[in-house]
Amino acid sequence: MKDRTMNDDLQSQMMRENDDKRALRRAVDHAFRHIDGTPDRRPFPDDAALDKARAFHAPLPETGTDSTAVIDQMNDAFSGACVNAVGGRYFGFVTGGVLPVTLAARWLADTWDQNAPLFRTSPAADIVEDICEDWLKDLFGLPGESVAGFVSGSSLAIYCGLAAARWRLLQRQGWDLNAKGLNGAPAIRVVAGRQAHGTVVKAVTLLGLGTDNIEWVDVDEDGCIKADDVPTLDDRTILLLQAGNVNGGGFDDFKTLCTKAKTAGAWVHVDGAFGLWAAAAKKYAHLTEGMEDASSWSCDAHKTLNTPYDCGVVFCRDGEAIRSALHQAGSYLEVGAGRDGMYMTPELSRRARAFEIWAALSYLGRDGVDALVSLLCERATQFAEEISAAGFKLAAKPSFNQLMFACDSDAETNRVLRAVQDGGEAWAAGADWSGQRVIRISVCSWATTEDDVTRSVNAFAAARRSV
């Protein structure tokens, strides 16, 4: 009887909180203050903020805490330890900002809390995925028969594309992968440039294709695969190409390589995490010319489109291949009423990510997407010009929204980078490029202004003088 009373009390408490919405209102208040402080907040938290967050590592409470107190404590403990990637001076990795409308859409969709594998689990999510699939194919110029899966990011999108490729290439050779597995299966060739992203290599590993089996091809000064060095392709081959090198931003020669692969019957996957969006901008669309002849593509909306994390998309020309590779069955699964997006993704349970994409594309329209992509590239060009004028050496010609630069020695480059990271004015990451240590800049947030670029360049110049 005591346990039942406790259960009833807890349910009554939550009913009251659901009615009065105190915790939600408190969260909104904290969120608005956080947004207001974004322009002047450090790109990366300082040691004091990190120590404050770590101090909350304590044993699990024996009894519960008031909901508003929980939200206050969460804000006090962890908000200061967050990376300010939505600001204008965070250039690390390839991390997009957040359009205000997509943040609002995320809040609303989170309130709906939809599970998106099937039409029967969420008709709304199923329908909006269908809309976004059509809109994105139109923006990117992809084949009409292509299908889209909405996943957490490019890592999973690449996995899905290569899973479809593996299924199709083995099926052509009379091998039922789903029934027989890989033990004794015919060989599949994998051809990739030496600058292929780590997520591509990870997907090859997870799919059991083996990194030792990758036929590596040399790349040029922009990190692009040398088309003339690509070995003879056949219908047992997966060719991995890039729309945007993660360091320099270079784009592979899709027109030449996709034509060659199509003639040979090879499967081409285009890793376009941030660069696939070049197809949506008039000034940069030439970079992706010919990629429509590939077999599968991957991209992130949380990068160039500036939706919240996490939001990736896989496109596959061969709908049968991706549905067969990612198939799941269960007598309790009621399928067939809609697109049933779980057949284009590995997950059963997954959040309804497409709402943020729908909101971004509805807000921006075709012209706005073009303008957003162009804005990021313009800021990267400005950064390259100003950092060169400040005496740094560009490691490669700027391409799209990425650039790299260095000092006179690797040691000096590393010291300057660390000084800027610790200084709090801007944040960037380092990388190895053509035998030297470089500082890499990714301009991926709509919030980066001309002044943000100049302030960041000044921070690097000051750091160089100090070291």
- Dump pLDDT digits (tens) for 330-373: 888 888 778 999 999 999 999 999 999 999 999 999 999 999 99
Find, among 114, 88, 149, the residue nearest to 340 by Cα. Answer: 149
Find, among 102, 132, 103, the residue nearest to 116 by Cα. Answer: 132
Residues 150 and 138: their CA atoms lie apart, in Å, by 16
Task: Dig out the tokens for 48 from the structure.
Answer: 């004091």
Query: Average pLDDT by consecutive 10-residue portion of the chain (467 residues)?
Result: 72 93 96 95 96 94 93 96 96 96 98 95 96 98 98 97 98 96 96 96 96 96 96 98 95 97 97 98 98 98 97 98 93 85 94 97 98 98 98 91 97 98 96 96 97 98 95
DSSP 431-455: EEETTEEEEEEE---TT--HHHHHH
What is the phi/psi pair of residue 398, to 5°? Answer: -60, 140
**pTM beyond 0.85:** yes
Q: Which amino acid is at 179?
A: A
- Dump pLDDT digits (tens) for 50-99: 999 999 999 999 999 999 999 999 999 999 999 999 999 999 999 999 99
Q: Please tell me whether residue 209 adopts helix, strand or coil conformation.
A: coil
- Dump pLDDT digits (tens) for 5-47: 767 799 999 999 999 999 999 999 999 999 999 999 999 999 9
Using CA atoms of 79, 443, 140, 161 in order, give the dihedral in degrees to the nearest 10.
-60
The answer to whether 312 touches 301, Cβ cutoff 8 Å, is yes
Residues 18 and 95: their CA atoms lie apart, in Å, by 35
